[in-house]
Amino acid sequence: MKDSDSGKWCALFAEAHRAVDVLSATRLRRIEEIRAALEAGIYRVDGRLVAEKMVSDVVRELRARRR
């Protein structure tokens, strides 16, 4: 591997690491929001959205099995 390739990989890895940090922080913030809403008794779930997600997950799984 050339030194220039090594530098490119290091930069790419650093950028990926920063992206994961941002996503992790966003996810943690959302978890805290949900936890607070649950504790306050104001968290509501849209049953239709849950059902749609469940169906789409099953369809995706069935399609993956056929491959």
Terminal C-alpha separation, the chain? 36
Mean pLDDT to the nearest integer, 9-29 = 90
DSSP state of 41: T
Mean pLDDT to the nearest integer, 56-60 = 98
Contact 34, 43 (CB under 8 A): yes
Domain count, the chain: 1
CA distance linking residue 9 with residue 17, whole number of Å: 12
Task: Give me the pLDDT at residue 59, please.
Answer: 98
Q: Does 29 score more than 60 pLDDT?
A: yes
Residue 41 vs residue 23, higher pLDDT = 41
Contact 28, 34 (CB under 8 A): no
Range of the domain at 48: 3-66
In percent, how much of the chain has pLDDT > 90?
69
* pTM for this model (two decimals): 0.51
The mean of the pLDDT values for the chain is 91
